[in-house]
Amino acid sequence: MATIKEIKELYNQAKYREIIEAVDTEALRIDFKEDEEKRLQVAWSHHQLGEYDKSIPIMEVLSGRHSSDTEIGESARRGLAHGLLQWKRDIEAADKIMQEIPPSLNRDNVRMNIFIKAARKGLVIPVREVIATITNAIQTVPYISVNGHIINNGALVLHEARKQDGARPYLPILPGLIDIAIGIYEATGTAKNHLAAAEFRASQICEAAGWDGIAKLSAEESVKLWQELVDSQDGARYKQNLDGALTQLKKLQENKRQ
């Protein structure tokens, strides 16, 4: 049976399917603390694979067993809120759960994801809060992956809300923000899928800013990273991401020829 240390190392390498396979059924009895930690890692692995129907029930159980001021309870609530947001698009339910969690960078990151969904629904975004949260993530050191997530997701919030008056003044800095996020990911050894997704977003944001040359370079890097993930890990999971990056790159290549 894999130890919790081994499981966390696999998670940092984005080997989510291996975690699910490595955790023996016995570990899911949640009789002991280590078993609950393993159960949480399995839930997050399902979450990262987009299997929210499997991650949410585990997150719900652990949220009920642990208070929000404990490591497991806080993480489970974040996973539950994020899962409901991604799967059900339930902004209100996600926000209600997040209100139970003490302030932290991890909490800020889920808030950014809530704002992404809200912006895509055409809802007015609290731009000042978004900017303040991004600024805090830039200034909070030493950097860890979640700093990059906040800056990355915050830039996407503003990009999605770019037609709103409050967001327009900040659009010129979005390429720079994404570049900072990518730099943090590279410096902290963040899992490759996050880096690939950030490069894809960078391509979209730079394209919107009229920086087609940089947008093409970012799309090429995203394609490269997604292809490596498809070849080495869960091909079925990452194939759709690769297809999206290829479509983006093809569009930019065609624009250049016109």
pLDDT, one tens digit per residue, over 236-248 is 778 999 999 999 9
How far is the C-alpha of 22 from the C-alpha of 45, rounded, in Å? Answer: 12
Q: What is the mean pLDDT of residues 2-23?
A: 88
* Per-residue pLDDT tens digits for 69-81: 999 999 999 999 9
Indicate the burial class of 28 (C-beta count within 10 angstroms; 0-12, 13-18, 19 or more).
middle
Q: Taking a C-beta distance cutoff of 8 angstroms, is the pair 142, 171 a contact? A: no
For Cα atoms 62, 65, 71, give the angle at the middle one, nearest 5 degrees.
Answer: 65
Structure tokens at 50: 């987009």
Tens digit of each residue's pLDDT (9 = 90 or more) over 43-53: 999 999 999 99
Residue ranges of domains in the chain: 1-102
**If pLDDT is split at 50, 70 and 90, which confidence band does 234 have?**
low
CATH of domain 1-102: 1.25.40
For residue range 145-185, what is the model confidence (pLDDT) as tens digits?
999 999 999 999 999 999 999 999 999 999 999 999 999 99
Q: What is the pLDDT of residues 187-226, one digit of tens each?
A: 999 999 999 999 999 999 999 999 999 999 999 999 999 9
pLDDT of residue 20 exceeding 70, the answer is: yes
Can you say whether residue 102 is alpha, beta or left, with left for phi > 0 and alpha for psi between -120 and 50 degrees?
A: beta
pLDDT value of residue 29: 52
- Residues 70-112 have pLDDT tens digits of 999 999 999 999 999 999 989 999 999 999 999 999 999 999 9
Pairwise CA distance, residues 134 & 243, whole Å: 30
